[in-house]
Amino acid sequence: MAKKVKTAYLCQNCGFESAKWQGKCPSCNEWNTFVEEILQDKNAAPQKGSWQPTSSSEPAKKVANKPVAIKEISYKEENRIVTTDQELNRVLGGGIMPGSVVLIGGEPGIGKSTLMLQIALTLNKQKVLYVSGEESDQQIKQRAERIPFVSEQCFILTETNTQNIFQQTEQLKPDVVVIDSIQTLSSSFLEAAAGSVSQVKECTAELIRFAKETGTPVFMIGHITKDGNIAGPKVLEHMVDTVLQFEGDRHMAYRILRTNKNRFGSTSELGIYEMQSSGLREVNNPSEILLSQRDEALSGIAIGTVMEGNRPLLVEVQSLVTPSVYGNPQRNSNGFDTKRLNMLLAVLEKRGGFRLNFSDVFLNITGGLRVEDPSIDLAICASMISSHEDWSLENDICFAAEVGLGGEIRAVSRIENRISEAEKLGFKHIFVSKYNLKGLELDHYKIKVHPVARLDELTESLFS
């Protein structure tokens, strides 16, 4: 008698399991995401596709752990693998942590595979296994010819079956493993198709088990959905140690590597690259590329200072305020939260006395950045005032302050780093909150610091 196959319905968005099909997922509230998949038999033999150490012939009996006082626990600091890519080191928190699992997501064609291949070719002292399930050996070799870095310790494996991958890792014993991509892998003991929820979860669990037991760091490239989220179940991001997002416009040269989750470092760091014909180039001074070069002063342009992790950046804010001809004014922003833009417009109208309710407002943060630091508020207000009144600001002025609902100029953190970065880039004036002056030694700076407390003080100082 044939054995009955056990199936269940899994949500392709969050991985919720149901015994029957449902139109709406009760976990993530998404519609039409349940797909029937074959479940693994829990009473079956151990998975041959999963990684197993070969040091012992029989598995040791599992001993229950006992609680230990935290002061009795001893540990030693792990030596990170420091790469030649300073941007990647910054994003990871100082280098690659042994035994860590890093998931990198991004849009198709953004440069995820190029970045990982470039990292694999620059690690000369470490043996790297680059596993590709999407490209052939010849395609990877052709792409590697454009990268000026050559490493004799980089090995290419075109394979999608996890059983065969772990057999090769036991023979090669690499120091770093790169998987391109996790959606192409499949486990031998799951009959579901590659890329399904069950396959992605199982293959990720096997890679995590391999990384933790051998101390080998694993990089996994992940596809993203049309909403910008990493494809597969949401639990995938909870399983790994670090989640990196590779962002940028494919029509622009610059790419941003942002940290969404990091168990071994800060989650507010970012790295900036420039896509060239020879690969990705690190941008060590991103403020220079975020500021446009112009010969004459134009209205609607202001410079703001923001903090991305420990790095101060000077970004250019461009505004266009023009009378509306369609009756309903438009409010569009690129790189900035539209709701916060509407709030600043209300503050300018209520506290500043500017009639903006019948004007179209367009806001753009140059360089493809998305800014969430509230210290950009003052620069946005100055930019919109400049465009509305058609008054141009001088090129050597920048801003660093938050704007409150009462029109007050609020203090921001790490003002010393912002002022030093503006001074290094040649700015002569910077407007900050007067509440930031406490403990600030102004004699140490060559740049002129202008403290302001309210929006009307800023308008009088700039446009009087």
Return the residue matching tokens 């590779």: 246
Domains in the chain: boundaries = 7-38, 81-284, 289-463
Task: Tell me what pLDDT residue 343 has.
Answer: 95
Give residue 71's pLDDT: 87
Q: Which of 145-159, 228-242, 252-266 has the lowest mean pLDDT?
A: 228-242
d(CA 387, CA 2): 76
**What angle do the packed helices 162-172 and 197-214 form, to 10 degrees?**
10
Q: How many CB atoms lie within 10 A of CB 373?
A: 18
Greatest CA separation found in the chain?
92
Q: Which amino acid is at 193?
A: A
Question: How many residues are given for the chain?
Answer: 464
Identify the helix (H) or strand (E) that includes residue 301: strand 301-308
- 3 state DSSP class of 392: strand
pLDDT value for 159: 93
CA 323, 324, 330, 333 dihedral sign is: negative
Q: What is the pLDDT of residue 95?
A: 92
Average pLDDT over the chain, rounded to whole?
86
pLDDT confidence band for 48 (50 / 70 / 90): very low
pLDDT at 101: 96
Question: Residue range 209-234: average pLDDT?
Answer: 82
**Predicted local distance difference test score (pLDDT) of residue 127:** 94
Mean local confidence (pLDDT), 391-418: 93
What single string gives the DSSP state of each residue in 334-358? ESS-HHHHHHHHHHHHHTS----TT
Side chain identity, residue 202: E
Q: Is the pLDDT of residue 60 over 60?
A: no
Q: Closest Cα to residue 333, out of 345, 322, 346, 319?
A: 319
Q: pLDDT higher for 193 or 461?
A: 461
Q: Summarize pLDDT for 119-168 with one digit per residue, the tens.
A: 999 988 899 999 999 899 999 999 888 888 778 889 999 999 999 999 99
For domain 81-284, give the fold: Rossmann fold (3.40.50)
CA-closest candidate to residue 81, choices 188, 9, 158, 177: 177
- Predicted pLDDT of residue 1: 45
CA 450 vs. chain centroid, Å, equals 34
- 462 pLDDT band, cuts 50/70/90, is confident
- pLDDT in the model for residue 149: 77
Q: pLDDT (tens digit, 9 = 90+) per residue, 77-89?
A: 778 999 999 999 9
CA 436/CA 428 separation, integer angstroms: 18
Q: How confident is the model at residue 4 (pLDDT cuts 50, 70, 90)?
A: low
Most confident range, picked from 29-38, 227-236, 363-372, 377-386: 377-386
pLDDT band of 72, cuts 50, 70, 90: confident
Distance of alpha carbon 305 from alpha carbon 401, whole angstroms: 9
pLDDT over 90 (residue 174): yes
Would you say the CATH fold of 289-463 matches that of 81-284? no
Out of 3.90.1300.10, 3.90.420.10, 3.30.499.10, 3.30.230.10, which CATH number does the structure's domain 289-463 have?
A: 3.30.230.10
Q: What's the confidence (pLDDT) of residue 14?
A: 75
The whole-model pTM stands at: 0.76
Type and span of the H or E element at 109: none
Res. 301 pLDDT band, cuts 50 70 90: very high
Checking if the pLDDT of 201 tops 50, the result is yes
Find all residues with CB under 8 Å of 129, minimum gap 6, and list them.
155, 157, 168, 169, 172, 174, 176, 177, 178
Q: What is the distance between the alpha carbons of residues 239 and 241, in angstroms, rounded to a whole number? A: 7
Identify the top-confidence range among 146-150, 221-225, 345-349: 345-349
**Looking at residues 94-98, what average pLDDT do you find?**
92
Residue 178 CA to residue 184 CA, distance in Å, equals 13
Backbone angles phi, psi at 112, to 5 degrees: -65, -50
The pLDDT value recorded for residue 42 is: 45
Give yes or no for residue 46 having a pLDDT over 70: no
C-beta neighbour count of 124 within 10 angstroms = 13
* Token code pair at residue 123: 């690690």
CA–CA separation, 67 and 163 (whole Å): 35
Q: Tell whether the model's pLDDT for residue 43 goes beyond 60.
A: no
The HSE-up count of residue 18 (CA atoms within 13 Å, CB side) is 18
| Residue 55 pLDDT greater than 50, yes or no | no
Angstrom distance (rounded) from CA 169 to CA 176: 10
DSSP classification of residue 425? T
- Stretch (H or E) spanning 273: strand 270-276
The helix, strand and coil proportions of the chain, stated in percent and rounded to the nearest 5, come to 30, 25, 45
pLDDT score recorded for residue 366: 86
Phi, psi of 10, deg, nearest 5? -115, 140
Alpha helices in 135-253 (DSSP H): 137-145, 162-172, 197-214, 235-239
Query: What is the average pLDDT across 419-429?
Result: 90
Which among 462, 459, 427 is positioned nearest to 446, based on CA atoms? 427
Residue 414: CA atoms inside 13 Å, Cβ hemisphere, count? 16
